[in-house]
Amino acid sequence: MTDSIYLDYAATTPLRSEAREAMLPYFGERFGNPSATYSLAAEARDAIDTARETVATLLGTTPNEITFTSGGTESLNAAIKGVAFAQQLARVGDHILTSSTEHHAVLHSCQYLEKFGFETSLLPVGRDGLVEPEEAAKALRKDTVLVSVMTANNETGVIQPIAEIAAAVRERARSLGRQIIVHTDAVQGANALRLNVDELGVDLLSLSSHKFGGPRGAGVLYVRRGAPFLPQQSGGGQERQRRAGTENVAAIVGTAHAFQLAQQERTAYAERCRALQERLIAGIAAAMPEAQINGHRERRLPNNVNVSFPDADARVMLRLLDEAGIAASAGSACNEETLEPSHVLLAMDVSLNYAVGTLRFTVSTSTEESEIDRLLDVLPDIVEQAKSATGVAAG
């Protein structure tokens, strides 16, 4: 469909042409295995080294602290399990603190660790989706080894006060006379936010390339020097022993190119997306006053509008939007198949009849005002049609 409208940039973004161009030689003539000894291999190795330097500089750290992975999910699993198992082995403790609105890659990693004797506490969020740093400080225990709070939420775009949370954790760690590691899932933050690891005060940070114009199936994990970390993948010594397996050179090159461009264009991106976000929110409020915008009004990503239409079935709305040529998401792309109310919205105390009628629209700099207007033209009628639909799972 030529005139279709894509409003699901939080689910994934198209590969940037600059990243694709940079990747192409590594699918072709530069195919060498970076671990080998001849010149063809050295080319691939150099490309990885350059990419690692680029990513390290953007995060305000050194290349040794950067690991390339197969995506956000792998980075998160490696971070959570890697720190937890290292600290369990060292008999430091087995308590993990995270928030109730994290991505399932974090929540399910914590649940997995519970099978190995770990305990997880979930920090509550307010109606605005924010974690209170004081709540984090209060929830820390003598045996807490890891705190993991996301930089920005994938469903609502709410931006968490990571620096304040990390400072509260550091203070508590000082009083205990040991480290408590702080990790942040920054997967949704790379287009709009400065991600300097020292300013954020984090020991580990996870990124996913396909959220910022890089290739799908590629990601980054930052691990601060000296942080306890037990690699979760065994094999060769690639990625400084942190992630065994022959490197995906093309994906690594594409990741670095896309991340650099995303970070360079951060301010212009935020400005442009904010204008589109405001246009959409104003249009919805004018046409459908019963609609509820979810998440803190200022502390949110500039490209996200998460909106609930009471008593409307999101699956019906998505189908009708698709028929109108508009791609959007219900809550989170990750739980589209089973329309169970989103754990993020429930944690924010959004009532069930609003939660199941929630849509997420996410824009980018390539979104046109006219596309927002076309959405606003069709949305009121679609919401009306979806209100009469029934059968939404409440589990």
Ligand X SMILES: Cc1ncc(COP(=O)(O)O)c(C=O)c1O
To ligand X, the closest distance from the beta carbon of 75 in angstroms equals 8
- Report d(CA 282, CA 159) in Å as an integer: 21
> Which of residues 334 and 376 has its CB atom nearest to ligand X in the complex?
334
Q: Is 99 in the site for ligand X (CB under 6 A)?
A: no
Q: What is the DSSP letter of 64?
A: G
To ligand X, the closest distance from the beta carbon of 310 in angstroms equals 26
Q: Is 254 in the site for ligand X (CB under 6 A)?
A: no
Tokens of 47: 């490309």
To ligand X, the closest distance from the beta carbon of 221 in angstroms equals 12
Ranges within 166-195 binding ligand X (CB under 6 A): 185, 187-188
273 catalytic per annotation:
no
Report the residue from 34, 133, 219, 357 that binds ligand X according to the rule CB under 6 A.
219
Q: Is 105 in the site for ligand X (CB under 6 A)?
A: yes
To ligand X, the closest distance from the beta carbon of 336 in angstroms equals 11
Asked whether 375 and 5 are in contact (CB, 8 A), the reply is yes
- Report d(CA 225, CA 61) in Å as an integer: 10
Q: Which residue, among 21, 69, 90, has the nearest Cα to 239 in the 3D structure?
A: 69
Distance of CA 269 to the CA centre of its chain: 17
- The contact mask relative to ligand X for 45-84 (x = CB under 6 A, - = no) is --------------------------xxx--x--------
- Report d(CA 18, CA 177) in Å as an integer: 47
Report the residue from 98, 109, 144, 208 that binds ligand X according to the rule CB under 6 A.
208
Cα angle 220, 225, 231 (rounded to 5 degrees) comes to 55
* β-strand pairing of 181-185 with 219-223: unpaired
> Which of residues 65 and 185 has its CB atom nearest to ligand X in the complex?
185
Q: Is 13 in the site for ligand X (CB under 6 A)?
A: no
Q: What is the DSSP letter of 140?
A: -
Residue carrying the six token digits 């899932």: 185
To ligand X, the closest distance from the beta carbon of 180 in angstroms equals 22
Q: Which residue, among 303, 363, 310, has the nearest Cα to 341 in the 3D structure?
A: 310
> Which of residues 257 and 360 has its CB atom nearest to ligand X in the complex?
360
Strand order in the sheet with 358-362: 292-293, 304-308, 358-362
To ligand X, the closest distance from the beta carbon of 375 in angstroms equals 22
Q: Is 150 in the site for ligand X (CB under 6 A)?
A: yes
Asked whether 291 and 246 are in contact (CB, 8 A), the reply is no
Which residue lies nearest ligand X, judged by its C-beta?
72
Catalytic residue among 24, 137, 324, 334: 334
Q: Catalytic amino acids?
A: 334
Contact residues: ligand X, CB under 6 A? 71-73, 76, 103, 105, 150, 154, 185, 187-188, 208, 219, 334
